[in-house]
């Protein structure tokens, strides 16, 4: 069973799209998916006064996978508020110990014009960010603000235990084995103690993977290389906050944040694989919510990751990915991939401007017609 968490803003638009594509994949490959839905994020704050209710988490407990749209929006943006939409994300991450956040960045050659980077720099870009998701500054204690005799003071704490580093490093090396066999571990070992431990533990794990090339790189120089020669990277593994920042930077390469999927995995198993939470990396984009404008591809590709990792359906996952690639090749684009163009302008530029639903229709059609 899959639990959907449409959330806020464009979340419901893109989750509905992904659900249609996954159902179509089921009908093509001869399986039927069961679905349930829960409220989390701003909509849950409005309905129940909390970002996610315990009874809804208990429904999520029974799922093989969670498919989330987006949470948050200006309405709930008070950073000092005691209830905030992101608390739902942290609840899922900690409850299921989703310590490995996978963010693949693939470039579709047809979309090179939508990327801010020169096309020649994009050639060969195919990287996988593996971000540690349940440790570091996000959860370290103490954290808070206090009033001292000389003024206000705030503190956050950056702790890492070697086991937390070890388990995410293992995932990075295992995944590298299925790819180009290269891991870049990102840290700030010239300054931070946690980074020095990070480097040691990743090196130790790497010794078990002599077939995988390991490189250590400082986070500042990684940020620069991502924006200059991104094709250098295969698997990139890093701690929570560095991963948050670098994965948004890497996402820009694809031409639109709307294109990119993610999976958050932990140690919890399902009947056919690993339990996970899947979501596009874009946010709730409230300005275009409910207007049939959102790019559904990030969520649809998250659905493909769900099929592969949590349901053991690599065949259906590959078909969904192929259907997306074919649809892009046909020139179907949502507005985020055609900035400033109306329908006529898009036609003149050689592609078809599509809404969320029409782009999803095209993907479903491609999927069903795959040989």
CB-based contact 311:272 (threshold 8 Å): yes
Helix (H) or strand (E) run with residue 65 in it = strand 65-70
Instruction: Answer yes or no: 244 catalytic.
Output: yes
Minimum CB–partner distance for residue 129 and Mg ion (Å)? 11
Q: Which is nearer to Mg ion, 244 or 249 (CB)?
A: 244
- Contacts of residue 353, defined as CB under 8 A and 6 or more positions apart, other chains included, come to 333, 334, 335, 338, 341, 342, 343, 346, 347
Question: If we measure between CA atoms, which residue out of 276, 279, 280 comes closest to residue 254?
Answer: 280
Q: Is 204 in the site for ligand IPM (CB under 6 A)?
A: no
* Residue 96 vs 242, nearer CB to Mg ion: 242
CA dist., res. 346 & res. 333, Å (int): 9
> Which is nearer to ligand IPM, 51 or 307 (by Cβ)?
51
220, 287, 315, 342: the active-site residue: 220
Task: Give me the least distance between CB of 90 and Mg ion, in Å please.
Answer: 13
Nearest to 124 by CA among 105, 102, 143: 105
Which CB atom, from 240 or from 366, has the smaller least distance to Mg ion? 240
Binds 37, which of Mg ion, ligand IPM, none (CB < 5 to 8 A, cut-off by type)? Answer: none
Distances, alpha carbon 242 to alpha carbons 192, 293, 303, in Å: 13, 31, 26
Of 23, 126, 156, 248, which one is the catalytic site residue? 248
In the complex, residue closest to Mg ion by CB? 244
Total residues contacting ligand IPM by CB under 6 A comes to 3
Q: Which does 220 bind (CB under 5 to 8 A by kind): ligand IPM, Mg ion, none?
A: none
Transcribe 311-351 into DSSP letters: S--HHHHHHHHHHHHHHHHTTEE-GGGSTT--HHHHHHTT-
Catalytic residue flag (residue 248): yes
Instruction: Tell me whether residue 87 or residue 360 sits nearer to ligand IPM (CB atom).
Output: 87
Decide: is 126 part of the binding site for ligand IPM (CB under 6 A): no
CB of 224 to ligand IPM, least distance (A): 21
The one catalytic residue in 13, 56, 108, 138 is 138
Q: Which is nearer to ligand IPM, 215 or 244 (CB)?
A: 244
**Beta strand 274-280 with 261-269: parallel, antiparallel or unpaired?**
antiparallel
46 binds, among Mg ion, ligand IPM, none (CB under 5 to 8 A by kind): none
Binding site partner of 86, from ligand IPM, Mg ion, none, Cβ cut-off 5-8 A by kind: ligand IPM
Active site residue 138: yes
How far apart CA 24 and CA 369 sit, in angstroms, is 11
Relative to beta strand 144-148, strand 151-155 is antiparallel
Question: Tokens at residue 199, please?
Answer: 């480097």
Q: Which of 13, 188, 234, 336 is catalytic?
A: 188
Q: What is the closest distance, in whole angstroms, from the C-beta atom of residue 133 to ligand IPM in the complex?
A: 7
Binding-site member from 37, 97, 110, 244 for ligand IPM (CB under 6 A): 244
CA 155, 161, 167, 170 dihedral sign is positive
User: Which residue is at the shortest CB distance from ligand IPM?
Assistant: 86
How far apart, in whole angstroms, are the C-alpha atoms of residue 268 and residue 273? 9
Place of tokens 């932990």: 266
Contacts of 342 (CB under 8 A, 6+ apart): 353
Site for Mg ion, residues 131 to 190, rule: CB under 5 A: none
Q: Which of 61, 86, 174, 204 binds ligand IPM (CB under 6 A)?
A: 86
Residue 302 CB, shortest distance to ligand IPM, in Å, is: 12
Q: How many CB atoms lie within 10 A of CB 293?
A: 18
* Given 97, 156, 215, 244, the residue binding Mg ion (CB under 5 A): 244
**Measured from the CB atom, is 98 or 364 closer to Mg ion?**
98
How far is the C-alpha of 356 from the C-alpha of 333, rounded, in Å?
9
| C-alpha distance from residue 35 to each of 66, 161, 195 (Å) | 10, 37, 41
Nearest residue to 278 via CA among 139, 96, 138:
96
Q: Which residues are catalytic?
A: 138, 188, 220, 244, 248
In the complex, which residues of this chain contact Mg ion (CB under 5 A)?
244
In the complex, which residues of this chain contact ligand IPM (CB under 6 A)?
86, 89, 244
């Amino acid at each position: 069973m899959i639990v959907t968490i449409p959330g806020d803003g464009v979340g419901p638009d893109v989750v509905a799209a992904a659900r249609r594509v996954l159902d179509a994949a089921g009908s093509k490959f001869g399986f039927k998916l069961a679905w349930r839905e829960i409220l989390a994020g701003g909509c849950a704050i409005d309905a129940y006064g909390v970002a996610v209710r315990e009874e809804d988490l208990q429904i999520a407990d029974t799922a093989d996978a969670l498919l989330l749209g987006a949470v948050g929006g200006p309405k709930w943006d008070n950073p000092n508020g005691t209830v905030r939409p992101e608390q739902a994300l942290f609840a899922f991450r900690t409850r299921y110990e989703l310590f490995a956040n996978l963010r693949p960045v693939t470039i579709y050659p047809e979309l090179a014009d939508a990327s801010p980077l020169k096309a020649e720099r994009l050639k060969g870009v195919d990287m996988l960010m593996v971000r540690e998701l349940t440790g570091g500054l996000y959860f370290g204690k103490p954290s808070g603000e206090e009033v001292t005799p000389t003024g206000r003071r705030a503190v956050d704490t950056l702790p890492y235990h070697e086991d937390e580093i070890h388990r995410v490093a293992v995932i990075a090396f295992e995944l590298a084995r299925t790819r180009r066999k290269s891991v870049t571990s990102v840290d700030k070992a010239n300054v931070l103690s946690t980074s020095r431990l990070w480097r040691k533990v990743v090196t130790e794990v790497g010794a078990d993977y002599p077939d995988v090339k390991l490189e250590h790189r400082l986070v500042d120089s990684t940020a620069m290389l991502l924006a200059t020669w991104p094709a250098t990277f295969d698997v990139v593994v890093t701690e929570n906050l560095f991963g948050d920042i670098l994965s948004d930077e890497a996402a820009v390469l694809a031409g639109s944040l709307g294109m990119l999927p993610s999976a958050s995995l932990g140690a919890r198993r399902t009947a056919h694989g690993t339990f996970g939470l899947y979501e596009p990396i874009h946010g709730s984009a409230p300005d275009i919510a409910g207007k049939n404008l959102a790019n559904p591809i990030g969520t649809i590709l998250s659905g493909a990751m769900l099929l592969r990792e949590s349901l053991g359906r690599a065949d259906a996952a590959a078909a969904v990915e192929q259907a997306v690639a074919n649809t892009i090749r046909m020139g179907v684009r949502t507005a985020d991939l055609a900035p400033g163009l109306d329908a006529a302008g898009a036609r003149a530029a050689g592609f078809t401007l599509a809404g969320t639903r029409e782009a999803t229709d095209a993907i479903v059609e491609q999927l069903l017609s795959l040989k």
